[in-house]
């Protein structure tokens, strides 16, 4: 077991006494974030329709072992992934980019740190995880100024970094329907992950329930056309394709053999279009005024003619 300390600092800190609502909000984010972080690394997406797999609860589990003085310090104990879910992580995995000596909390903190540092091309979070990170704001609204995670590395989240996470979330391009073609180069039977080799490079994909593992295996090493939804990073680069249909490719595939890009290349924050209004601008500049030089009698006469 590895000990991690989560310190809450600010006016609301009361040492070993912590409001139940604060503890609930904090642990809810950390637990869901751990599950999503592990799933993203192992399955290529942080969430999916249907019941989460049983191994995920095991992999993301942790124990709260105490609350200590020195601000409010919540102590949790975690296990490495290989120990927490041994059956799952003992499987041979062609997509294995996960260090199983790490815990789910370690993966969660890598993603949280990348988001706070505005790492727009990170593979450790997606839009779902960004939404979960954003829920840490509930803790700050209860009177805390910063949250420090102290495990293998230290990570401090404060209002400034929460603002960075919020801005990052606003810049994630919307997903879009795509059709792509390439050689089915790698597949993973247990969770339908695959790699598609294309003219412009390769992309990572994950098939939904409409595509069986046997169907993926049948087309292994062949040219295929995949239809589905492209999901992007905040930078605009492709994170994955969520495949809904797969079919053999014909002789001409070059039109589809391109890495999908967002529909809107320029991604801007809504704040860019917000302009402060004063007594002589915005609505205040037009309310109660007629945009012409006609008198009231002339306006009444014109309205009478058209009524």
DSSP string, 4-72: EEEEEESTT-BTTB--HHHHHHHHHHHHHHHHHHHHHHHHSSS--SSPPPHHHHHHH--EEEEEETTTE
| Same domain, yes or no: 159 and 19 | yes
| Residue 215 pLDDT | 85
Q: Which two tokens stand for residue 64?
A: 């709260």
Least confident of 68-82, 159-173, 252-266: 252-266
Can you tell me the distance from the alpha carbon of 206 to that of 171, in angstroms, rounded to the nearest whole number? 23
214 conformational bin, left if phi > 0, alpha if psi -120 to 50, beta if neither: alpha
Q: What is the chain's length?
A: 307
* In the predicted structure, residue 267 carries a pLDDT above the cut 50: no
Q: pTM here?
A: 0.78
| Same domain, yes or no: 125 and 203 | no
Q: For 30-43, what is the mean pLDDT?
A: 94
Contacts of 94 (CB under 8 A, 6+ apart): 186, 187, 188
Can you tell me the distance from the alpha carbon of 120 to that of 182, in angstroms, rounded to the nearest whole number? 27
Which of 233, 248, 263 is the last residue before a domain boundary? 248
The domain in which residue 13 lies consists of 2-171
Which of 111, 140, 171 is the last residue before a domain boundary? 171
Q: Is the dihedral of CA 276, 280, 286, 287 positive or negative?
A: positive
In a domain, 273, yes or no: no
In a domain, 255, yes or no: no
Q: Residue 220's domain is classified under what CATH number? A: 2.40.50.140
Can you tell me the distance from the alpha carbon of 284 to that of 277, in angstroms, rounded to the nearest whole number? 8
Q: Which two tokens stand for residue 270?
A: 């809504």
pLDDT tens profile 168-217 = 999 999 999 999 999 988 777 667 788 899 888 889 998 888 888 888 88
In a domain, 155, yes or no: yes
State the CB neighbour count (10 A cutoff) for residue 141. Answer: 10
| Same domain, yes or no: 152 and 237 | no
Which of 207, 230, 248 is the last residue before a domain boundary? 248
| Same domain, yes or no: 181 and 167 | no
* In the predicted structure, residue 265 carries a pLDDT above the cut 70: no
Q: For 18-29, what is the mean pLDDT?
A: 95
| Residue 251 pLDDT | 66
In a domain, 32, yes or no: yes
In a domain, 72, yes or no: yes
Q: For residue 73, how many C-alpha atoms fall within 13 Å in the half-sphere facing its CB?
A: 10
| Residue 305 pLDDT | 75
Q: How many domains does the chain have?
A: 2
| Same domain, yes or no: 150 and 32 | yes
| Same domain, yes or no: 31 and 164 | yes
Q: What is the mean pLDDT of the chain?
A: 86
Instruction: Answer whether 46's CB lies under 8 Å from 129's CB.
Output: yes
Can you tell me the distance from the alpha carbon of 103 to that of 299, in angstroms, rounded to the nearest whole number? 74
Full strand arrangement of the beta sheet holding 63-68: 63-68, 72-78, 2-9, 146-150, 154-158
| Same domain, yes or no: 150 and 244 | no
| φ/ψ of residue 199, rounded to 5 | -60, -35
| Residue 253 pLDDT | 64
**Residue among 59, 42, 47 at smallest CA distance from 190:** 42
| Same domain, yes or no: 143 and 193 | no
Per-residue pLDDT band at 98 (split at 50, 70, 90): confident
| Residue 121 pLDDT | 93
| Same domain, yes or no: 167 and 193 | no
Long-range contacts of 110-115 (CB under 8 A, 24+ apart): 110/37, 111/33, 111/37, 111/40, 112/33, 112/149, 112/155, 112/157, 113/153, 113/155, 115/164, 115/165, 115/168
In a domain, 282, yes or no: no
The helix-helix angle for 127-134 and 104-116 (nearest 10°) equals 90
In a domain, 232, yes or no: yes
Per-residue pLDDT band at 254 (split at 50, 70, 90): low
| Same domain, yes or no: 160 and 196 | no
Per-residue pLDDT band at 95 (split at 50, 70, 90): low
| Same domain, yes or no: 22 and 161 | yes
| Same domain, yes or no: 190 and 60 | no
Furthest C-alpha separation in the chain? 87
Per-residue pLDDT band at 292 (split at 50, 70, 90): low
């Amino acid at each position: 077991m590895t000990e991690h300390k989560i310190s809450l600092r600010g006016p609301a800190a009361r040492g070993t006494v912590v409001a139940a609502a604060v503890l609930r909000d904090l642990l809810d984010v950390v637990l869901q974030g751990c599950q999503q972080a592990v799933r993203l690394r192992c399955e290529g997406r942080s969430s999916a329709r249907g019941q989460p797999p049983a191994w995920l609860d095991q992999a993301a589990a942790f124990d709260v072992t105490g609350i200590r003085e020195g601000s409010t310090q919540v102590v949790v104990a975690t296990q490495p992934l290989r120990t927490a879910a041994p059956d799952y992580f003992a499987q041979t995995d062609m997509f294995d980019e996960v260090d199983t000596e790490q815990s789910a909390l370690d993966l969660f903190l890598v993603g949280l740190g990348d988001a706070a540092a505005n790492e727009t091309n990170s593979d450790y979070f997606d839009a779902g995880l960004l939404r979960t990170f954003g829920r840490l704001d509930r803790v700050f609204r209860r009177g805390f100024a910063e949250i420090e995670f102290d495990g293998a590395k230290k990570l401090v989240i404060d209002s400034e970094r929460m603002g960075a996470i919020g801005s990052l979330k606003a810049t994630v391009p919307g997903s879009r329907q795509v059709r792509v073609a390439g050689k089915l180069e790698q597949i993973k039977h247990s969770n339908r992950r695959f790699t598609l080799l294309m003219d412009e490079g390769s992309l990572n994909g994950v098939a939904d329930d409409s595509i069986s593992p046997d169907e993926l295996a049948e087309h292994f090493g062949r040219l295929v056309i995949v239809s589905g939804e492209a999901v992007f990073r905040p930078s605009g680069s492709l994170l994955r394709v969520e495949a809904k249909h797969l079919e053999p490719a014909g002789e001409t595939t070059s039109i589809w053999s391109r890495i999908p890009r967002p529909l809107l290349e320029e991604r801007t924050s809504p704040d860019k279009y917000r302009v402060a209004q004063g007594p002589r601008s915005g609505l205040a500049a037009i309310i109660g005024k007629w945009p012409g030089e006609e008198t009231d009698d002339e306006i009444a006469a014109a309205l009478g003619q058209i009524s």
